[in-house]
Structure 1
Amino acid sequence: MTAPSQEHAPLGATRVPGRVRWVLVAGAGLDIVWATHRLAFLVTGHSPVLWVYVAGMAFLVWQLATAAFDRPAVASPDGAARLAAARVAVLVPVYNEADDILRGNLEALLRQTHPPAAVCVVDDGSTTGDYATVRDWFTEAASRAGVTSTWQRQENGGKRSAQVAGARTYRDADFYVTVDSDTQLDVRAIEESLQPFEDPQVQSVAGTILVTNYRTNVLTRMQEVWYLSMQMVDRAALSRAGAVLVNSGGMATYRAAILWDHVDEYLTETFRGRPVHTSDDSLLTLFAQQRGRTVHQPSAFAFTAMPSTFDGHRRQQLRWMRGSFLRSGTRLRSLPLGRFSYWYHVARWAQYAAATVALVVVLASGALLNPMTILLGACIVGSVQLIVASTYLALRRNDQTTGQRLAVLACAPLVGLWSVTFLRVLRWYAMATVSNVSWGTRQSVEITGREAPAQRPVLALDDA
Structure 2
Amino acid sequence: MTVLTGIVVLLLAAAWTTHHAVIAFRADSETENRLRVVWISLFLVFLLQTFMYHLEGVPRLTDRTVRQLASAHVSILIPVYNEDPGYLKLGLESFLRQTRLPDSVHIVDDGSTSSDYADVRAWWEEAARKAGVATTWQRVLNGGKRHAQAHGVRVSAEADIYITCDSDSCFAPSAIEQVLLPFARPRVQSVAGIVIATNNRVNWLVRVTDLWFVVCQLVDRSGQSALGAVMVNSGPLAAYRADVIRDNLGSYLNETFMGRSVMFSDDSLLTLYAQQRGLTVQQPQAICFTAMPEKWSHFTRMYLRWMRGSTIRSVWRMRYLSPARPAYWLHAMRWLQMVLTQMVVLWLVLVEPLLYGQMPPGSMLVIPFLIGYAQGLRYLSIIRSDERIRSRALTWLMMPLAIVLAWTVLRFLRWYGIFTCARTGWGTRQNGAEVTLGGQSSPPPPEAAAQSTYVRAVDPWDESTLEIRQYRAHTQAP
Q: Same fold by TM (over 0.5)?
A: yes
Deviations 1:381-412 (A, max 9, x none): 22221111111122221222121011110111
Does 2:435 align with 1:447?
yes
Per-residue deviation, 1:27: 3.7
Aligned to 1:128: 114
Distance 2:310 2:9 in 1: 31
Per-residue deviation, 1:52: 2.7
Give the direction of change, closer, same or farther, for the CA distance of 1:379–1:87 in structure 2 (3 Å limit): same
Code of the aligned partner of 2:256: T
Aligned to 2:176: 190
Aligned to 2:467: none
- Mapping for residues 239-278 of structure 1, pairs under 5 Å: 239-278=225-264
Pick aligned residue for 2:68 from 76, 79, 82: 82
Aligned to 1:399: 386
Aligned to 2:369: 382
Per-residue deviation, 1:365: 3.1
Q: Contact between 1:24 and 1:64, CA under 8 Å: does it hold in 2?
A: no
Unaligned runs of at least 5 residues, structure 2:
461-478
SS of residue paired to 1:119: strand
Does 2:24 align with 1:41?
yes
Distance 2:285 2:225 in 1: 13
Q: Contact between 1:185 and 1:303, CA under 8 Å: does it hold in 2?
A: yes
Distance 2:353 2:63 in 1: 61
Aligned to 1:423: 410
- Mapping for residues 196-215 of structure 1, pairs under 5 Å: 196-215=182-201
Aligned to 2:98: 112
Distance 2:283 2:291 in 1: 20
Code of the aligned partner of 1:395: I
Give the direction of change, closer, same or farther, for the CA distance of 1:341–1:29 in structure 2 (3 Å limit): farther
Distance 2:40 2:80 in 1: 45
Per-residue deviation, 1:460: 4.7
Distance 2:252 2:4 in 1: 38
Does 2:120 align with 1:138?
no
Does 2:222 align with 1:236?
yes
Q: Contact between 1:28 and 1:387, CA under 8 Å: does it hold in 2?
A: yes
Per-residue deviation, 1:20: 4.6
Aligned to 2:7: 24
Q: Contact between 2:105 and 2:134, CA under 8 Å: does it hold in 1?
A: yes
Code of the aligned partner of 1:438: G
SS of residue paired to 2:250: helix
Does 2:349 align with 1:363?
yes
Code of the aligned partner of 2:433: V
Pick aligned residue for 2:204 from 193, 211, 218: 218
Per-residue deviation, 1:49: 3.9
SS of residue paired to 2:176: helix
Distance 2:437 2:35 in 1: 47
Code of the aligned partner of 1:449: L
Q: Contact between 2:164 and 2:238, CA under 8 Å: does it hold in 1?
A: yes
Does 2:159 align with 1:173?
yes
SS of residue paired to 1:249: coil
Q: Contact between 1:210 and 1:303, CA under 8 Å: does it hold in 2?
A: yes
Give the direction of change, closer, same or farther, for the CA distance of 1:52–1:29 in structure 2 (3 Å limit): farther
Q: Contact between 1:25 and 1:61, CA under 8 Å: does it hold in 2?
A: no
Per-residue deviation, 1:233: 1.1
Give the direction of change, closer, same or farther, for the CA distance of 1:53–1:27 in structure 2 (3 Å limit): farther
Deviations 1:196-250 (A, max 9, x none): 1111000000001111111011111111111111111111111111011100001
Give the % identical residues.
40
- Equivalent residue pairs, number: 447
Per-residue deviation, 1:153: 0.9
* TM-score (normalised: structure 1): 0.91
Per-residue deviation, 1:61: 2.9
Aligned to 1:298: 284
Per-residue deviation, 1:51: 4.2
Distance 1:405 1:74 in 2: 31
Distance 1:21 1:168 in 2: 48
Deviations 1:17-59 (A, max 9, x none): 7x95586367436514413532662694433445434432432
SS of residue paired to 2:286: strand
Unaligned runs of at least 5 residues, structure 1:
1-16
Distance 2:314 2:214 in 1: 23
Pick aligned residue for 1:438 from 425, 433, 444: 425
SS of residue paired to 1:149: strand
Aligned to 1:289: 275
Distance 1:40 1:347 in 2: 28
Distance 2:148 2:266 in 1: 12
Q: Contact between 1:36 and 1:54, CA under 8 Å: does it hold in 2?
A: no
Q: Contact between 2:200 and 2:206, CA under 8 Å: does it hold in 1?
A: yes
Q: Contact between 1:87 and 1:172, CA under 8 Å: does it hold in 2?
A: yes
Q: Contact between 2:248 and 2:273, CA under 8 Å: does it hold in 1?
A: yes
Code of the aligned partner of 1:170: S
Distance 1:89 1:368 in 2: 60
SS of residue paired to 2:75: strand
Distance 2:456 2:350 in 1: 49
Aligned-residue CA RMSD (Å)? 2.4
Distance 2:18 2:422 in 1: 39
